[in-house]
Amino acid sequence: MLSRVCLIRYLCSVLCVASLSVCGASFGESDVTSQSVTISAEFDVAQSLNEQIDKRVGSADLESKALCAVYIFDGATGKVLVNKHGEEAFAPASCNKLLTTAASLSLFGPDKRIETDIYRTGVIDANGTLKGNLIVVGGGDPSICGRYETDKKDVTAELRRWVDAMTSAGIKKVHGDLVADIRVFDQEYFHKNWYLNERGEYYEAEIWGLQFNEGCVDMEFSSKDLLPGDTAKMTLIPPTTYATVSNNIKVLARGRAGSTEFRREDLSNDIVATGTLAFDSTKIESATICNGPLWALHTLRDVMTSAGITVSGKLRIADSLEDAPAVAGGILVHRRLSPPMSELINTVNRVSQNFYADSLCKLLGNRFRGSGSWAAGCAVIREWLRNQPVWSEGHMMDDGSGLSDENRVAPRTLAELQRFMNEGPYSSQWRDSLPQGGVRGSLKARFAETDATAEQKARIFGKTGYIDGVRSLCGYILRKDGTPVYYMINVVNSYRSAKQQLDLIDDIVVMTLKAYE
C-alpha cells in the first residue's frame, strides 16, 4: 500500500487540478484533463507496484534479519514509484562498479587510453647487444591479455608485439636486466577487506601497476576420452614455470555439472586446483598468481627467448633511486596503448570484472590525488559523486569493485546515478556498457524463470552484484515508448540459495516493466 504521505500528496494534486479546472483562467480544459489522467495513472502504477512487491517479498522466505531494499522511479516524470529502505546505505556488492565506471568515464573521457612504455638504457652495439636494461613502465593498464584479441586464448599476442618492436630497434640480446617500473600504483596489491581464503580465485587478482593476463594463469581442463573418476587433463596458458598447479580436478558422470576451486597462499605461486569437470567437455579456468610485475617480466622473457632474444640479467622491480633517473633519460623502444576507456568500462560492467574496476579505481587516485591507492581512488570517486545532482547520503567507498563488504551506498544513489549517466554527455557509451536482458553480459541468461517475452527482456538493462550475503541489480527498464524507469534492488543479509534471491530480484524487475504494459 502507498504511505499516508504519498496518499496526501496524491489527493492534494487531484484537488489542485480540480481547482484549476474551476478557475480556468490560464489553462484549457484539455490540459487539466491530461494532467489529471497522468497523475491518476502514476498513482495507479505506484500503488499496484508497491502491493505486488510487498506480496512477492513476503513470499520469498528470507531470513528474519534479511531485507529487500527497492528504489524505483519514473525517468520521464521523476516520480518515485517505490521506496522501500531506498535511502538507507547497504553493501552494494558489484553494483559498486557503477560508481567506479561512471567516475572513470566522466573524468577520463571515453577515448582515454592507458600507456605502457618500454625504455632501454645503454647502447646497442654492432652485434645487436643492448648493453643496458630494458625497463617496462607500467601505467596501470589491466588489459594486457587475450581478452581483446581475435583468439582470446592467445594471451601473449601483445607481448609478441613488444618483442617485434625490440627487433625493429635492432635488439638481439640484452646484456642487462628486465625491470618493471610500477610506481603508478602503491604496493598494497591485495585489499585488506577481501576474502583471504579465496585469494586464488580470479576475482581476487592482485592489483599492480604492471600486470599480465589479468593477474592470472589460465588452465584448460579437458575430460575428452576420459572416464568418470579420472583426473582431467590440464594445459597451462601460457606454458610457464612461474606457477605450479596441483591438478585435482575429477571427471564427472555424464549429465552432471562440474565446479572448481583454486587456492594458494600469500606470496606463493603454488596453486591447488580442486573440483570436478563435466563428462566429455573442455573448460578454461583462471587462478591468480603472486607478484604481477614479475609474472609479466617472466612471460615477456619467455616470449623474447622464443624470438631469439636472450636476457643475461635479472628480472626485478625497479628501485626508485637507481632506476627512476634511467627511465627519465632512457630511449623509448615501444609504447603500448590500451583499448579506449569506453571498452574498458564495458569489460567492468558487462561481465563484472573486479580486476579492471580496482585498477581503474587506483588509476583515478594516481591521476587526481597523486597516489595510486584504493584510499585515494575512492576519495576521488566520492568527491566526484558529491558534485553531481545525485543523492549521496551515507555513501562510503572502500574499493573499486565492490568485493569489500565495507562499501555502503543507498539504492536511491545508484538509481539516480543511472539516470545521470543515461542523460549525460557519454550516455551512449554508458548504455552500451550495461548488460541487457537475454542479449549480453551478465543478464544474457537472466529472467528465464519469469514470464517476460524475449522482447520484454531486451528492454531490461542493469548491473548485477553478488558477495556473501548480498545480491543486487541496478539499472533501468524501457517502456514501449522508449522512456526509462530506473531501479535498484538490494537483497542484504540473506544466505538463501542463489536461485531464491535471483528469482525475487528478477520478478520485481519484470513486475516494474509490466506495470507500464
pLDDT of residue 26: 45
Q: How confident is the model at residue 506 (pLDDT cuts 50, 70, 90)?
A: very high
Cα distance between residue 242 and residue 287, in whole Å: 13
The alpha carbon of residue 444 and the mean position of all alpha carbons in its chain are separated, in whole angstroms, by 16
Pick from 66, 54, 65: which is nearest to 500 by CA? 66
Q: What is the pLDDT of residues 427-485, one digit of tens each?
A: 999 999 999 999 999 999 999 999 999 999 999 999 999 999 999 999 999 999 999 99
Which helix or strand (DSSP H or E) is residue 277 part of? strand 270-277
Q: How confident is the model at residue 40 (pLDDT cuts 50, 70, 90)?
A: low
Pick from 514, 422, 389, 404: which is nearest to 465 by CA? 404
Q: How confident is the model at residue 325 (pLDDT cuts 50, 70, 90)?
A: confident
pTM: predicted TM-score of the whole model, two decimal places: 0.92
Burial of 467 (0-12, 13-18, 19+ CB in 10 A): buried
DSSP-based three-state secondary structure for 452: coil
pLDDT at 209 over 90: yes
pLDDT at 5 over 50: no
Cα distance between residue 261 and residue 258, in whole Å: 11
Q: How confident is the model at residue 43 (pLDDT cuts 50, 70, 90)?
A: confident
Between β-strands 331-337 and 115-120, what pairing exists: parallel, antiparallel or unpaired? antiparallel
pLDDT of residue 23: 41
Say if CB 73 and CB 62 are below 8 A apart: no
Average pLDDT, the chain: 94
Which helix or strand (DSSP H or E) is residue 336 part of? strand 331-337
Cα distance between residue 116 and residue 134, in whole Å: 13
Q: What is the pLDDT of residues 125-159, one digit of tens each?
A: 999 999 999 999 999 999 999 999 999 999 999 99
Comparison of pLDDT for 5 and 114, the residue scoring more:
114
Torsion sign (Cα): 17, 22, 26, 30: positive
Give the chain's domains with CATH numbers.
50-109+342-514 (3.40.710.10), 115-339 (3.50.80.20)
Torsion sign (Cα): 346, 351, 352, 353: negative
What is the rounded average pLDDT of the residues 399-407? 99
**Residues of the chain with pLDDT > 90: what percent?**
89
Residue 69, φ and ψ in degrees, nearest 5: -90, 135
How does 469-501 read in b/e, with b if 16+ C-beta sit within 10 Å?
Answer: bbbbbbbbbbbeeeebbbbbbbbbebebeeeeb
| Three-state DSSP string of 169-205 | CCCCEECCCEEEECCCCCCCCCCCCCCHHHCCEHHHC
Query: C-alpha grid cell for residue 104?
Result: 572513470
Between β-strands 270-277 and 260-263, what pairing exists: parallel, antiparallel or unpaired? antiparallel
